[in-house]
A and B are shown apart, each in its own frame.
Chain A
Amino acid sequence: MDLSILIEKSVLVVILFSVSLAVAAYSTYAERKIAAFLQDRYGPDRAGPWGLLQPLADGGKMFFKEEIIPNASDKFLFILGPCIFMTTALMTSAAIPWGKSLHLFGRDISLQVANLNIGILYIFAIVSIGVYGIMIGGWASNNKFALLGAIRASSQMISYELAMGMAIIALLLTSNSLSIRDIVDQQAGFHWNVFYQPLGFIIFLVCAFAECNRTPFDLPETETELVGGYHTEYSSMKLGLYLFAEYTNMFISSAVISCLYFGGYHFPFIDSLNLPQNVAAIISVFVLFAKVCFFIFFFMWIRWTLPRFRYDQLMRLGWQMLLPLAIVNVLITGAWLTYFK
C-alpha cells in the first residue's frame, strides 16, 4: 500500500473522529439549549460565554466521578458493554461521504474513510452490533430495571431495523447501488430521494428515532418507569460513554438520513456555479453539516414536544404498521420501476 494514502486516511480518520466527538459533545449542549428555547428558559449559560464550555465541564465531571461497579454484577461484561456501544457508534461514520473530493498535493483526496461498495449494509451491521453493547451492559448489571431496559432496547432496535431495512430496499431499487457515495451522487441537482420515496423517508425517519432510542421511542431508558433503564447501575465514565454514544448515534443517523434522502453534500444551485474543486469540496462539507444539524435539531424538537409510547404500542407500530407499509412501499416501487419504465 502507498504510504501517502495511509497518511491521508489516518489524518482523515483522526479528523473525522474528533469531529464526531465534538458534534456529539455539542449535541448535549444543543439539546439543553433547544429544550430551553422550546420551554422559554435560558438553558446552560454559566460555563463560558453562553455556556459554550458546558460540554467540557460535563465531560470533565464524568472523568472525576467515582466509579461504582455493583457487587452482584458480572464485572467483565459490565465494563465491556459501554465500550462496545461507544466503539460501534464511532465506527459507523466511516461509510459516510462527508464531501466532494479535495485536490491537494497533486492528488484527489476523497472525504470518506472507506468508500465501501456495501456502505449501507456496513452501517446496518455496525448498528446491530451496537445493540449488544446495551444488552450486555444491562444484563451484566444484575439489576431488574437495567434488565428490563436492556431487553426492551434490543427488542425495539431489532424490530425497527426490519422496517428500516425495507425502507432502504425501496431506495436501493431506484439507486441500483449499495454504496452511499453513489447514492449521494445520483441525487445531484435537485433529485433528492425524498421526493421519489416520501413514504420510505417517513418510515426511515421513524425507525431512526427508534434506533437512536430517542423520544417518543426512549423506552429502554424511560426515566419514569425504569429509573435509568439499561444504564441504571452505571456511573462515572462508563455512563458517560453510554450517553455520549447515544448522541454520536444521533449524529450519524442524521448524516445517514441526509445522505440517503436529502442529497448528502449536494445542494441544487451550488453545483452549477463551477467553483474551483477545493472550494466546492469545502462548501459541500458545510452543506452536509447544515443538513445534519437540521436533523439533529429535528430529533431534539420531537423529543421536547411528544410524550412517549407504551412498550406494546411501540412494538405494534413497528411490526403491524411500519413493516407492512414498508413492504407495500417496496412493492409499489418495484412495480413502478419494472412495469411503467
Chain B
Amino acid sequence: MGSSALVLLTICGIAFAAGGILLSKALAKTSTNSQKGETYECGIPTTGTSFIQFNVGYYLFALIFLIFDVELVFMYPWAVVVKEVGMPAFVEILVFMFILFMGFLYAWKKGALRWD
C-alpha cells in the first residue's frame, strides 16, 4: 500500500521535472549564436577541459565517508533494539565504536581530515 503511493509520488516528481523542462522548451524563444554555447569562465575562453583528474583531497573524504556510512547502517538496527536487550547490546556497540573510533583517529592523525 505504502509503496504504490511512493511510486505515484515518484512519478509525479519526474513528471513535474520533465514537464517543466519540456514546457519551457516549448514556450521559450530560442536563437542560435555560436558564442552562447561557450563555457562561462568570466568572459575569458576557458583553458582546457574540466573533465580532468581532480585533486584527491575531496575523494579522501568520500572514502572515509564510505567506511563510516556502512558502520552507520549497522548501528540503525542496533539503536532500535538497545532498550530491550539492555547492557549486553551497549557493551557490544562500545567495542564496535571503539574500533570505529580508532580508525577515525588514525585517519585524523594521518591528516586525511585536514585540508591542504
Contact = CB atoms under 8 A, between A and B. Distances in A.
Interface size class of B (residues with CB under 8 A): 35 or more
A327 interface: yes
Contacts of A305: none
Contacts of B104: 323-324
Interface string A145-167: 11100011011001101100110
Contacts of B30: 66-67
A96 to B, nearest CB: 12
A62 B24 contact: yes
Contact of A312 (B25, B79, B116): B116
A43 interface: no
B27 A9 contact: no
Contacts of B99: none
A154 to B, nearest CB: 8
Contact of A159 (B46, B65, B84, B97): B65
A86 B14 CA distance: 8
A334 B28 contact: no
A315 B20 CA distance: 35
A114 B75 CA distance: 24
Interface string A50-89: 0000000000001111111111110000010011001111
Given A63-B23, A66-B28, A151-B58, A158 B5 contact: no
Given A86-B17, A145-B41, A338-B82, A331 B94 contact: yes
B65 A68 contact: no
B87 A315 contact: no
A99 B101 CA distance: 40
Interface in A1-45: 1, 5-6, 9-10, 12-14, 16-17, 21
Contact of B14 (A10, A70, A73, A87): A87
B40 A69 contact: no
Contacts, number: 220
Contact of A64 (B24, B75, B87, B89): B24
Interface string B86-116: 1101100110010001001000100001111
Interface stretch (A168-176, A211-219, A273-281): A168-176
Most chain A beta-carbon neighbours within 10 Å: one of B1, B9, B36: B9
28 contacts: A1-B1, A16-B9, A67-B28, A68-B36, A72-B38, A87-B10, A88-B13, A90-B12, A94-B5, A113-B5, A142-B39, A142-B51, A143-B50, A147-B54, A154-B58, A155-B58, A158-B65, A158-B69, A161-B65, A162-B69, A172-B80, A227-B42, A324-B104, A330-B75, A330-B97, A331-B94, A338-B86, A339-B90
Interface of A: 1, 5-6, 9-10, 12-14, 16-17, 21, 62-73, 79, 82-83, 86-91, 93-94, 113-116, 121, 139, 141-147, 151-152, 154-155, 158-159, 161-162, 165-166, 169-170, 172-174, 176-178, 227, 232-233, 236-238, 240-241, 311-312, 315-316, 319-320, 323-324, 327, 330-331, 334-335, 337-339
